[in-house]
Amino acid sequence: MTQYIVRRVIQAIPVLFLISVVSFVLMMQAPGGPAAQFNQNPHISPAQINKWLADWCLVRQPTVMDTVREYLGWLGVWNCTGGSFLSAHGLPNFLPAFLGGGTNGILHGDFGYSIETGQPVLQMILARLPATLILMGTAFVLWATIAILAGVLAAVKRYSFFDQSVTFVSYVFYSLPTFWLGLILIFIFGVTLRWFPVQGIVNVRNTPAPFATSAYWAAFAANPLPYLYDIGAHLVLPVVTLIAVSIAGDSRFVRSAMLDSLHQDYVRTARAKGISERQVIVRHAFRNAMLPILTNLALEIAFLFSGAIVTETVFSWPGMGRLYYDGVNARDYFLLMGILLIGSVLVVVMNLVADIAYAIADPRIRYD
Amino acid sequence: MGTPPPPDVLLDVRDLRTYFRVMDGTVPAVDGVSFQVHRGETLGVVGESGCGKSVTALTIMRLIETPPGEIVGGEVWFNGRDILTLSSDEMLQVRGAEMAMIFQEPMTSLNPVLTIGDQIAEAVVAHKKVGHKAAWDRAIEMLQLVGIPEAQRRVKQHPHELSGGMRQRVMIALALSCDPKLLIADEPTTALDVTIQAQILELIRRVQEETGTALLLITHDLGVVAETVQRVVVMYAGKVVETGTVDEVLQDPKHPYTEGLLASIPSQGLRGTRLNVIRGSIPNPFRMPVGCRFAPRCPYAFDPCRDHEPPLEGPGDGDRRVACWLHSRPPFGIEHRPRYGTSTATALAQRTAGVAS
């Protein structure tokens, strides 16, 4: 088992490398550029721009080799200031700093500086991470629970009123675009009925400091309940927007996996044993239907990330999704590459977790 | 509501009818089937695919999925009570405990994600009111009984680590784990290699002798029937066409269908000659023939066969029963004019002679 996990982790490394290449190439291909943004910013002097360009191996009219060097510099394999693969200590640049490697590039945790704000990219992303994790975590737990419960019940009570209702509601929600659903929810439950707040993660009137700052956390720790309630109320509409469409699709998936499982011979064997119907469904039918459902949920995590961009934008949620949207508008390339990479790493990690969970759930998986 | 059968009759199936209501109509999969199994006895149910053997077995276990299936009539007296009248909760006490079943497909009949021990112990815990440890020990004991080597190790394995023959042994161990009075085996050897088939049959026979359980063996293999059972029920298109002891039915088949089944067994002596198969195929279940259901394929069919259903009655004494106009006096006023065939025609000649004298 340990060996299996180690091997899966090692297999993830080339995937992450490819993701970094794709993130970089996508940004290279995008129109506009950092220089165009700098030119519009009166606070930056030409000397600062030139230093910034040199630090990141950026060239004004890059050849193909320059582009490769830019990528390697961003990655941390190329030492931009020294202009070689070797660090200032004369050792390979990709080694960690404490082993005598360089300090530039994502391998060393240096994601560069935002063109727009001048802050380190990593710091900006980490500041936005809690809001995104709260939104996605809540969404994922609710999503998986509701989709599984609705799907299993619909399969067990096939063709019943409940089943038909789930089918009907699923088709309605499945056809709705996320951004439209978000706007309609804001209009009905936020603006008209005033049941839920329409934007942000906290009520700024009642909090001593902006969300995710240390002052905020201090106040949160002192008296968590009203703050939790505040976040909860703000979560309702974005979470519903984020998961309604996915639940619609996934409950159908769970239903068909469960129906498939319910008609297997081993379920008939279980019934022939004379154990209760609940045990038959939970221990035998659902336990086997779990396997395709696990795989599906893992794949859907990536979908959750992309859905978060739209949802966070619609609800002004201070998370990574909206940071990405703002970054695109500002052509903030280092920020975008950083978010793409960190988002991808999270998805790869989630898939890894799902793979390992699958291996635990299915004894037929071979570890070698 | 009928009266209970005598105590030596473990299972008494009376006029059982199971229909499947599907989109295109109603399929009478089991249509008026009656037979008895005595305590400790082995009864064989034979017939070709689709004749209602498995549905009969699943109906007795009350494992028919409703809908589309529905038990529309009949009684199943088992161990002194009509189990068709039991609630589904009461049936949980019967199923697995008093009657157990072995299925055709050992490869798919075991849950792939649970260990063998878990699957056997689960049944034991449900019926024997013992703890998990005792149930686990019982599982090991059962695996030893069915001849699985290294039972201590095997009990922790998952089904995919076992061969088909081993899995069928596990199914037998599972079925017998709660000491059932009746074991229903639905084509237990069909999916296995020929060499393994013999071992599994031998095993079933041995454990049946050791445990004294009655066996209802469903098969289409007359060789298996000849080796294993004491009495035979021959089914065709949802009905019983002939019953009797295994010797009577196999040595002296009365019904043309039984005769055809026996004639269609390939044998070394007939090598090179054309196999004598029953022509045609089983009737369309949505449009069953009005009279005898075998009439369209029967080489001896004559007038009453096409319009009147023959009763299942004895051509002589004992438990021998056959549903064929060749062996029964047709209803009054119907012309009785058979076309003559071979051996069954002889039987007919004997019968008409008897009637005349």
Question: What confidence tens digit (pLDDT) does each residue in B98-146 have?
Answer: 899 988 888 889 999 899 999 999 989 888 888 889 999 989 988 888 8
Structural domain of B259: 253-356
Q: Which ipTM did the prediction report?
A: 0.82
What are the distances in angstroms from CA B100 to CA A4, A86, A327, B112, B213?
A: 41, 75, 67, 20, 10
d(CA B222, CA B154): 34
Chain B positions in Cβ-Cβ contact with residue A287 (cut-off 8 Å): 111, 113-114
Coil/strand/helix, residue A79: strand
Pairing type for strands B214-219 and B42-46 reads parallel
H/E stretch holding B234 reads: strand B231-236
Kindly state whether B105 is in contact with chain A, defined as any CB-CB distance less than 8 angstroms.
yes
Coil/strand/helix, residue A308: helix
Task: Evaluate if residue A308 carries a pLDDT over 70.
Answer: yes
From B319's Cα to the closest Cα of chain A, the distance in A is 31
Model confidence band, residue A165 (pLDDT cutoffs 50, 70, 90): very high
Check residue A146 and give its pLDDT: 94
* pLDDT, tens digit, 9 for 90 and up, residues B183-208: 998 888 887 788 888 888 888 888 88
How would you list the strands of the sheet with B69-78, edge to edge? B25-38, B9-22, B69-78, B81-82
Domain tally, chain B:
1
Domain borders along chain A are 20-108, 125-324+349-361
Using CB atoms, pick whichever of B93, B109, B122 lies closest to residue A265: B109
Residue B21 in any domain: the answer is: no
Model confidence band, residue A148 (pLDDT cutoffs 50, 70, 90): very high
Coil/strand/helix, residue B172: helix
What's the rounded mean pLDDT across residues B8-33?
87
Candidates A156, A269, A294, partner chain B, best to mutate (most B CBs within 10 A): A269
Check residue A96 and give its pLDDT: 81
Residue B297 in any domain: the answer is: yes
Q: Helices A2-29 and A64-75, interaxial angle, to 10°?
A: 140
Check residue A139 and give its pLDDT: 92
Kindly state whether A276 is in contact with chain B, defined as any CB-CB distance less than 8 angstroms.
yes
Nearest CA in chain A to B110: A266
Q: What angle do CA A173, A176, A181 make, to 5 degrees?
A: 100
H-type helices in chain B, by residue range?
53-60, 88-94, 116-128, 132-145, 151-154, 164-176, 194-211, 222-228, 246-251, 256-263, 303-307, 343-356
The CATH class of A125-324+349-361 is mainly alpha
Task: Provide the token pair at B203.
Answer: 């095993």
Nearest CA in chain A to B104: A265
Cβ–Cβ below 8 Å for A279 and B122: yes
What's the rounded mean pLDDT across residues A33-55?
75
Using CB atoms, pick whichever of B88, B109, B123 lies closest to residue A266: B109
Kindly state whether B21 is in contact with chain A, defined as any CB-CB distance less than 8 angstroms.
no
From A285's Cα to the closest Cα of chain B, the distance in A is 9
Task: Evaluate if residue B354 carries a pLDDT over 50.
Answer: no
Say which residues have a Cβ less than 8 Å from residue A15's Cβ, sequence separation at least 6: A348
For all residues of chain B together, what is the average pLDDT? Answer: 83
